[in-house]
Amino acid sequence: MKNSFLISCIFTFCSQATFAQKETTIISVKSASDAPTINRNIYGHFAEHLGRSVYGGFFVGDTSKIPNTKGVRNDIIKALKDLKIPNLRWPGGCFADTYHWKDGIGPKEQRTTIVNQWWGGVTEDNSFGTHDFLNMCELLGAEPYLSGNVGSGTVQELSDWIQYTNFAGKSPMSDLRKKNGRTEPWKVTYWGIGNEAWGCGGNMTADYYAGEYRKYATFMSDWGNKEGLIRIASGSNSSDYNWTETLMKNIPLNLLGGIGVHHYSVINWDKKGDAVDYTEEQYFKTMKEALKMEELVTKHSAIMDKYDPKKKVAMIVDEWGGWYDVEKGTNPGFLYQQNTLRDAVLAGATLNIFNNHADRVRMANLAQCVNVLQAVILTDKAKMILTPTYHVMQLYSVHQDAKLLPINFQSPLYSYNGETLPAISASASKDKNGLVHISLVNIDSKNSNKVEIDTTELGVKNFSGKIITSKKIQDYNSFENPGKIVPVAFKDFENKKGKLEITIPPFSVIVVEGK
C-alpha cells in the first residue's frame, strides 16, 4: 500500500459552496502505549431465520440458476469477503430459542419442518442448517457465532451441539457428524447462551437467567478446541443496568467470556417511521437514539469494571442498528427496509463509539446482514445491491485489529427544535503496517463542519481521497439504480504546514488514511 492518505466521504450535497461554515474544530490524535487493540469482531454481522435473510438472501439452494456454492449465493460470498466480515451470528435472534439444531442436519428431504412463530408464521423447512452455516463461514473466512437454545431447549441439547461441531475424537455426536459428511470438526469458539432471555428468550428475570446461565455454561466443554470456548451471556435490553449488574455479580468470571447488550435506534416502537420518506425531526430523533450508544456502553462498562477490573469479560453488542417500518407491500414479520444515507451516518457514528471503547467492546453484530433491518446487502431474485451502510463498514474495516489512537476534541452542536446533539464523532487507529486511520462523522443535516487535524506527529505528507455523494439524505441504492451511491474521487481538502483541514459536509462519513 502506498504511503498516502485515503479520505473517503459519504455525504449528500453536490455543491460544497452552499454549505454553511462554522468555526474550525481542532482534533488531537495521540499515540498511547497502553491503548487497546480494536478487535476485528466489532465489525461482525447477524443472520437470523427471519424473512428473506437466509432463504432468498444467503441461501438459494444448489439447484438455483443464481450462481452459488452449495446453495450459497456467490455474489454475496464475494461482497462479504470484500467487506472483511470477521464473524456472523446465527440462527437468531428470537428464532434461536425455538431452534432445535438436530432438525437441520442429515438428508434435507428427511428434515423436520416447524412454524417460525416469531417472524411471519411461515413454515421453516430446515434446509439450511448447521453444516450449511458453518461451511458458509469457512467460505467467508468468518468466525461463526452460534446462539444456543435456552428458552425451549435443554442443557443436553446444547452440549451435544458443541460436541457435534467441535469434537475430533470418537463420540456419539462426532460419529453423527461424520455420517452426515463432515469428518473434521469446525471448532466453533463463540457460543451464545440464549438470546434476549428477558423477552422472547423466556421472559426471565435477571436472577433466574443467571442461574440458568451457570447451569448451561457448566456443561459446555471445549471438546479439544485449543482456543477454548467463549461463552456469551444474553445481555441487557438497552439501558437495563440492573440486568448487567445481576449477571456480573452472580456468574463466576471463569464461566463468563462475554455479556451482551442490545440497542436499536428506534424513535417510537408503535410507529417507527418510514425508512426513506422521513422528516428532519425523524432523522434527529433517530440519531439521538443512535448516539445513546455512548451512554449505554459507558454505564454498562462501569458496572462490569466493579466485578471485572482487569476487563477479562468482553462486552458484546450483538444486536444494533436502525429499525423502521417495513417497506410498503411487504410482510410485516419480515422486517425488510430500505437503507439511506441516514443509515450510513448512523453506522459511522456507532462504530466510532465501539472503537473508542475497544478496551471493553470486543464484538458487535449489525442487525442484520441481508434483507432484514439495517442490511448491508439487499436482494431481489438474481439482483443484488450494496447499501450505504455496506460502504461505511467497508471503509471502516481498516480499523480491524489496529491499535486505538486516543482522540480528543470539543464537538460543535447539531441543533433542531431547541434540542442539540454532538455534530461530530471520531475515532482513530494505527495498524500493524504503520498506517493511521481517522474516521469522522458529521450528523448535522444542514451544516458543514470544519476540522483541523495536526498531522505533524503522525508523519503525514501526502494524501488523496474518495467520496460518495448524492443530492439528499433520503437517497439510496435501488435495484433500478444500484450505483447511485458509490465512491468517486475527492480532492476538496488542504494540507497546510502539517495541518490537515477538511470541511465535513452535512450527514457525511469520512475516513482518513495515511503514513
C-alpha to C-alpha distances, 4 to 337, 345, 458, 513, nearest whole angstrom: 37, 25, 12, 7
Sheet strands (E) in 445-486 = 449-454, 463-468
In the residue annotation, 196 being an active-site residue is answered as: yes
Q: How far apart are CA 322 and CA 275, in angstroms?
A: 9
- Bridge partner list, 192: 147, 232
How buried is residue 306: exposed, middle or buried, by Cβ count under 10 Å (0-12/13-18/19+)? Answer: exposed
Catalytic residue among 48, 143, 212, 319: 319
Catalytic residue among 48, 196, 212, 289: 196
Q: How far apart are CA 384 and CA 59, in angstroms?
A: 13
Residue of 499, 497, 489 lying closest to 451 (CA atoms): 499
In the Cβ-directed half-sphere of 9, how many Cα atoms lie within 13 Å? 26
In the residue annotation, 319 being an active-site residue is answered as: yes
Give the DSSP letter string of 217-233: HHT---TT-TT--EEEE
Are the C-beta atoms of residues 291 and 352 closer than 8 Å to each other?
no
Q: How far apart are CA 125 and CA 128, in angstroms?
A: 8
CB atoms within 10 A of CB 278: 18
Q: How far apart are CA 10 and CA 135, in angstroms?
A: 34
Point out the residues that are catalytic: 196, 319
